Amino acid sequence: MTARLSVEDARPEDMEAIAALNNAAVPNVNALSAEEMAAIAAMGALRIVRAEGAVAGLVLTLPEGQPYPSMNYAWFSGRFDAFLYVDRIVVAPEARGLGIGRALYDDTAARAAALGRPRVCAEVNVEPPNAGSMAFHAASGFNVLLDRLNAESGKTVRMMERPVSPSA
């Protein structure tokens, strides 16, 4: 039986490992330096899961109303008054199948509920395809809103939302 996973706030000393984990997941996410990751996290929250002391997964979220220059974030901002946006979720390849992604999304939904946000918003690459993430988001309760071309990145993304109940 797998031990219960603990999700915690990232610490400054984690940033290099977080950036390396993130950048190993390109093209499913865009590359960021540790400094860029910290700057985005300052607008929201960066939460991680550790496995044997190492960063095994991360989720970077932002609430509405932030000065975040992302066309996908802007798209959600233009449609919803209140949300928690998942900018990225990454699980280390060697840690997949351990429930880390689910733990990160359960933590995100609980934080959204605690903050009074009725939905968690995210997008997943359609082109280039990210079939694993698409299946994971569907199994995690995300509803498809539409597919759109993100002219900023040149990627086609599927815009999704997961409703959050106040008791999530």
Domain contains 2: no
pLDDT of residue 1: 35
Domain contains 32: yes
Asked if residue 165 has pLDDT above 90, the reply is: no
Average model confidence (pLDDT) across the chain: 93
DSSP-derived letter for residue 2 is: P
Domain contains 134: yes
Sequence-distant (6+) residues with CB within 8 A of 147 are: 126, 156, 157, 158, 159
Domain contains 25: yes
Domain contains 14: yes
Mean pLDDT, rounded, for 125-144: 91
CB-based contact 13:34 (threshold 8 Å): no
Domain contains 15: yes
Q: How confident is the model at residue 112 (pLDDT cuts 50, 70, 90)?
A: very high
CATH of residue 96: 3.40.630.30
Domain contains 37: yes
Asked if residue 42 has pLDDT above 80, the reply is: yes
* Bridging pattern class, strands 155-163 and 84-91: unpaired
Query: What is each CA distance from 110 to 56, 106, 145, 163, in whole angstroms?
Result: 20, 6, 22, 11
Instruction: List pLDDT tens digits, range 65-91.
Output: 999 999 999 999 999 999 999 999 999
Q: How confident is the model at residue 27 (pLDDT cuts 50, 70, 90)?
A: confident
Q: How confident is the model at residue 59 (pLDDT cuts 50, 70, 90)?
A: very high
What is the reported pTM? 0.92
Q: How confident is the model at residue 117 (pLDDT cuts 50, 70, 90)?
A: very high
Q: Which domain holds residue 36?
A: 7-163
- Give the count of domains, the chain: 1
Percent of the chain with pLDDT over 70: 97
C-alpha neighbours within 13 Å on the C-beta side of residue 114: 6
The two three-digit tokens of residue 41, written as one number: 């996290």
Q: How far apart are CA 37 and CA 111, in angstroms?
A: 20
Domain contains 1: no
Asked if residue 12 has pLDDT above 50, the reply is: yes
Alpha helix (H) residue ranges in the chain: 15-23, 34-41, 71-77, 100-114, 131-139
